[in-house]
Amino acid sequence: MGIFSRSSTKSVEYHIQVNLLGNSGTGKSSLLMSYMKGHYVPVETPTIHEQHKLLVRYGKWHLALLINDSSGMPLNHCVRRYNYKYADVFIVCYAVDNPDSFNDIPKLC
């Protein structure tokens, strides 16, 4: 887990909403599942929209993470925009072997 560790405590100091951004096929869901499981998990089913809640510990703080994993497809634009209003953190994903996935990032915002 690196600097984060799982937490089972009910005394949450901070609630943090995280949004994963990127074109379809850039590994957003694989990144999230690998973080949640602690090892690489290939995800091959396209995501429409998923929300994951995790309790983690960072140093002395207990955090509640709400992680939104949305499709990079244009029809999911409304869901993404709604989640943007409440986000504290954005993780931008792109495929290094696909320059269009990097160039499309402004379209996702």
Q: Each residue of 35-83: pLDDT tens digit?
A: 888 888 777 776 767 888 999 988 888 999 999 887 766 656 666 677 7
Question: Does residue 48 lie in a domain region?
Answer: yes
Which pair of tokens denotes residue 55?
A: 């309790």
Long-range contacts of 86-92 (CB under 8 A, 24+ apart): 86/17, 87/17, 87/18, 87/19, 88/16, 88/17, 88/18, 89/16, 89/17, 89/18, 89/19, 90/18, 90/19, 90/21, 91/18, 91/19, 91/20, 91/21, 91/28, 91/31, 92/21, 92/22
Count: domains in the chain: 1
Question: Does residue 57 lie in a domain region?
Answer: yes
Question: Does residue 54 lie in a domain region?
Answer: yes
pLDDT over 90 (residue 9)? no
Q: Whole domain around residue 10: which residue ranges?
A: 4-72+79-86
Question: Does residue 99 lie in a domain region?
Answer: no
Comparing 77 with 88, the larger pLDDT belongs to: 88
pTM of the predicted protein model: 0.78
